[in-house]
A and B are shown apart, each in its own frame.
Chain A
């Protein structure tokens, strides 16, 4: 083993997770301590009365954003992977072409439009946003899981059955681990899109990190906008770099 490889496996635990840790820490610091930067924002908007968004606590907004995206994503992963698995089994094979086509076509729909359509159907509030995020988030996950399972050499599949693995064992020990990198990539895409779409929450009656931005746009308060944008940007970067590291590890 060359010394180069051993040095990257040693200090690497902290080194590898450095990027997500940095983004996450910045995010938390700013969420909790935005008030301390009032002087900075005064420079930006010297004439306005209020420069720090105070209609709601940043921590609460962050929490609500994470909650909405989190719930929708968890459900999307559970349902998406289950659906893709079901459709690649013997009993579900009939539905494979349709599901596959739907997952492709669905991704052409702009997420904003899906969010907008959820309101006439479900009203205002947190529910339509979760449903819209869930529906839209399903697509990359289903597509990627199908691709992952489809990428497995059928001979490997046959060997697994021939060795005496039950169908469930084949799924759990062979198919899912081999499809995992694809699935992870799908989840990463899904969550990133969801963080962005959820920001429009105020327009449908759910409050989260998009509020200061929209409020800032409406009221012409650039400081608000920057606060919201920076926080949501940091959230997106933290989550995305976290997934990136997870993908590298696999």
Chain B
């Protein structure tokens, strides 16, 4: 195999060196006997004499060495090593928990230390870099995370009971489940409704230039207003409406709750949706439209059979952007009583309970990433002639 000499991959070496340094110096876990007392921090090297930690440091340094001459074999090997490390982290945590939590601490809480967070972060960065260098597709890239997710799932279900985050979850698992439901329902309803409304708006805009200008003007104006302000401003009118009109009140329309949240979300979702649908329909290659017309297709047929299918991937991009945005905004809507995962964040902040904050924030990030990946993949799949 004619290997051309390549320069070292400085990205990999610097990231892995930083990871090793963090792993060996910073605190990896903290153990508290109960909820009230702050935890005692332990560095990785302090747990079980540090041998497991050192063992894990070896493959990290191996990657640094492999990065010196990054040929395809070396990079693939590094990829395997990193995936293994990511899967081993939760297992190490489980082992540390088993060792550090003695039977006289039934209420013990284990917290994840900065070393673990940093290591997780840096290893994920290395994963991204390796994925790019090896030219793997997006889909394959997501698959790389499977061992890690399996490791965490295993550890969480079997050995990580004292983990603070898990305890928090168990204490409120029903609440958590309904929060997730509320969150998804709100996002789904808002995105769905905006898709319908936006489509109608765009159809009107394509016919009348005046509607287009006014429409974009209003939507841009709306988008600039901070979400908290809009949520707040909708409370009074909706409260008034709920008080006056009985059947609306029966539906649950009132000053707080899902009504103002839904309306505001709809408003915010309209701009990206309208913009994308508009551009999608406008930017279909005119040559294709012309040839369709030339062959005798009626206007409606051209629209349904040519323009629409070609516009679909771009529309899906709009759905993707809107969904991710809506997931974030719904979190803020928790402040006006709309429920959802945001409640954990704000309750946690109010009580200075960091683990509750994490219980809210991490799933939201996870949801956003998953939605982005799924819808993005769908959009790629529908692109004419395969992925661009």
> Do A and B share a direct contact in the complex (Cβ within 8 angstroms)?
yes
Residues of A near B226 (CB, < 8 A) are: 195-196, 199, 232-233, 236
**A29 adjacent to chain B (CB < 8 Å):** no
Number of A-B contacts defined by CB within 8 Å: 126
- Given contacts A44-B236, A102-B128, A110-B364, whether A94 and B332 have CB atoms under 8 Å apart is no
Main secondary structure of the interface of B (DSSP, over half): helix
- Given contacts A94-B11, A98-B125, whether A120 and B236 have CB atoms under 8 Å apart is no
CA distance A232 to B228 in the complex (A): 9
- Over the window 210-250 of chain A, the binary record of Cβ atoms lying under 8 Å from chain B Cβ atoms (1 yes, 0 no) is 10011011000010011011101100110010000000000
Of A111-119, A143-151, A155-163, the one touching chain B: A111-119
**B156 adjacent to chain A (CB < 8 Å):** no
- B221's nearest neighbour on chain A, judged by CB, is A237
- Over the window 135-179 of chain B, the binary record of Cβ atoms lying under 8 Å from chain A Cβ atoms (1 yes, 0 no) is 000000000000000000000000000000000000000000000
Range of interface residues on chain B? 35 or more
Residues of B near A105 (CB, < 8 A) are: 128, 369
Residues of B near A226 (CB, < 8 A) are: 232-233, 236
- A240's nearest neighbour on chain B, judged by CB, is B224
A62 to chain B minimum Cβ distance, whole angstroms, is 14
Q: Are B365 and A110 in contact (CB under 8 A)?
A: yes
Q: Are B236 and A213 in contact (CB under 8 A)?
A: no
Of B72-80, B207-215, B343-351, the one touching chain A: B343-351
B174 to chain A minimum Cβ distance, whole angstroms, is 22
CA distance A225 to B125 in the complex (A): 42
Q: Which of B129, B225, B332, B369 contacts A200 (CB 8 A)?
A: B332
CA distance A196 to B230 in the complex (A): 10
**B360 adjacent to chain A (CB < 8 Å):** yes
CA distance A210 to B228 in the complex (A): 8
Residues of B near A233 (CB, < 8 A) are: 224-226, 229
| 5 sample A-B contacts, Cβ–Cβ < 8 Å, listed by A number | A102-B128, A116-B345, A213-B229, A213-B232, A233-B224
Residues of B that sit less than 8 Å from A by CB: 9-11, 125, 128-129, 132-133, 221, 224-230, 232-233, 235-236, 239, 256, 324, 327-329, 331-332, 335-336, 342, 345-346, 348-350, 352, 354, 357-358, 360-362, 364-365, 368-369, 372
Residues of A that sit less than 8 Å from B by CB: 44, 94-95, 97-98, 101-102, 105, 108-113, 116-117, 119-120, 124, 192, 195-196, 199-200, 203-204, 210, 213-214, 216-217, 222, 225-226, 228-230, 232-233, 236-237, 240
Query: 3 shortest A-B CB distances, which residue pairs?
Result: A110-B328, A196-B226, A229-B229
